Chain A
């Protein structure tokens, strides 16, 4: 497989893993500066907390690709193969509808924040940079749900 294809298939994994690594390093740097130099890096808090939202979007997307989301399959397992397949399509549709609306609402929030020129609390960055993870993340998630469902349609029967 070419490198390019590998990256498009694993994009959010690479991004999520790097982000988590950066968050851990920032948090550790904070501990070191607080105890060794008695100088806490307060600004890192804002970055870490907002990175957590990005991390959630990336991870959710890759969890949809790998079907890792928690669900209660006890009753579903009792259904016939065919009914279960239709149920899967239904769930995929429901999830797509959900993330399309969330992404759209996030986009509206972003527009508002740009219009009102809202800036973040401690770093004074434009807030919409952080908010943009909602529409971008939702777009990724929707793409992965469609991809996984198409895979089911081809291989499921």
Chain B
């Protein structure tokens, strides 16, 4: 019965059934078929969503949408461009920097890639970068959004494992930065080799100082969000709502770039985007409940640990599993489906849950831009108007570079644990 649960899910997924539906259909059938009692479905569905920590998700999504559309990304890109954009491969450096930075206000990889890619891909193309390279780079750099705090994936991880979300957010900072920096190596190397990036003056002569002043309000956003969280002033939900009102203030008062009509559209899009996430949360929660009740999760955990006595082999196996899973589906479904299998293993070896959460999330970030499926590449290739295959040559070195960053984060837990320990969050 348990195997049917997993098999049914993967078959439906491969057929292109929406992820939430592909999770729910086998779950309902197994609950019914195994006689677990269909009356549990509706209350479980309700309770899976109605959780206080999850309230931060729609608010962070809303804040990200407002910041994206009130013209902040444009001003930050302009500022970064004036600082480093005028050298060979300069725009590539700008793209990575801005994506990592924007990950500090948005918590979703595809959203980050879409926000930055919409502006930077045409600009990169105009400076002679190939479309495949630009799409690959933005997809890779945008993937850091789920590890750079705030992160929707880490909120979900915290809710499932009962780990402090502020501690997870603090732990993601250095690994997220490291993941972004690791991309610099292949990005600059390819850009130099292919001679990307003209060295002509940029057309905007507004100067470093003016562009800094323009970008300053935007640059402050992550400082407020993360500063408030690390300092223990705000809970994640509070930080999210403060971010919402801060970005509204920027859009309506400082930049005057938002209209009421646009604000309405942002609300519509944000409520829809939150619902897509929350529906997966609710059904995936039922899935893992059904899986653990019929006992398939325990036997899978036993199977994993039975492969080898070595902690490192098991860890490697887990990472390969997450990596392959991350190529196919979103981080949230992965957490609900795989975490119940991994938790007993984590307990057995005494792994730190904060460190393990960061490792899993960073690994999932890489899966987001690894061909052939890759949600982020899907977004950026649409923006660049090319086929997925055209990015392959440029994207593999980037996958490799971030895998190196992952190995470093696994090998040195202090990289994840230093910041939360410094702020006394764990």
Contact B276 A53 (CB under 8 A): no
A31-B238, A49-B50, A53-B46 in contact; A62/B272 too (CB < 8 A)?
yes
Which one, B12, B237, B268, contacts A27 given CB within 8 A?
A: B237
Which one, A16, A21, A72, A105, contacts B41 given CB within 8 A?
A: A105
Interfacial chain B residues near A70, Cβ < 8 Å: 18-20, 276, 280, 330, 375
Q: How far is the CB of A29 from chain B (nearest CB, A)?
A: 9
Among the listed stretches B214-222, B241-249, B360-368, which one makes contact with chain A, having 4 or more residues with CB under 8 Å of it? B241-249
B16, B45, B55, B234: which has the most chain A beta carbons within 10 Å?
B16
A73-B16, A76-B16 in contact; A20/B21 too (CB < 8 A)?
no
Interfacial chain A residues near B278, Cβ < 8 Å: 52, 55-56, 59
Interfacial chain B residues near A131, Cβ < 8 Å: 42, 46
* Size bin of chain B's contact surface: 35 or more
Contact B21 A109 (CB under 8 A): no
Is B328 interfacial (CB 8 A cutoff)? yes
Which chain A residues numbered 30 to 88 have a C-beta less than 8 Å away from chain B? 30-31, 34, 45, 48-50, 52-53, 55-60, 62-63, 66, 68-76, 87
Distance in angstroms between the alpha carbons of A134 and B238 in the assembled complex: 28
Contact A134 B46 (CB under 8 A): yes
Q: How far is the CB of B385 from chain A (nearest CB, A)?
A: 16
Distance in angstroms between the alpha carbons of A59 and B271 in the assembled complex: 6
Contact B59 A27 (CB under 8 A): yes
Which one, B43, B272, B372, B375, contacts A63 given CB within 8 A?
A: B272
A49-B50, A95-B21 in contact; A56/B275 too (CB < 8 A)?
yes
Is A19 interfacial (CB 8 A cutoff)? yes
Interfacial chain B residues near A72, Cβ < 8 Å: 13-14, 16, 19, 328-329, 373
Contact A56 B279 (CB under 8 A): yes
Contact B42 A20 (CB under 8 A): no
A52-B54, A52-B58, A55-B274 in contact; A101/B28 too (CB < 8 A)?
yes
Is B383 interfacial (CB 8 A cutoff)? no
Minimal Cβ-Cβ distance residue in A for B19: A70
Contact B28 A63 (CB under 8 A): no
Distance in angstroms between the alpha carbons of A102 and B58 in the assembled complex: 23
Distance in angstroms between the alpha carbons of A87 and B3 in the assembled complex: 24
Minimal Cβ-Cβ distance residue in B for A88: B16
Contact B271 A58 (CB under 8 A): yes
Contact A49 B238 (CB under 8 A): no
Is B39 interfacial (CB 8 A cutoff)? yes
Distance in angstroms between the alpha carbons of A55 and B271 in the assembled complex: 7
Contact B50 A50 (CB under 8 A): yes
Is A129 interfacial (CB 8 A cutoff)? no
Contact B274 A91 (CB under 8 A): no
Q: How far is the CB of B29 from chain A (nearest CB, A)?
A: 10
Is A108 interfacial (CB 8 A cutoff)? yes
A20-B271, A105-B42 in contact; A87/B19 too (CB < 8 A)?
no
A-B contact pairs, 6 of them (CB 8 A): A20-B270, A27-B238, A49-B50, A69-B20, A71-B18, A95-B21
A interface residue numbers (CB < 8 A to B): 13, 16-21, 23-24, 27-28, 30-31, 34, 45, 48-50, 52-53, 55-60, 62-63, 66, 68-76, 87, 91, 94-95, 97-98, 101-102, 105-106, 108-109, 130-131, 134
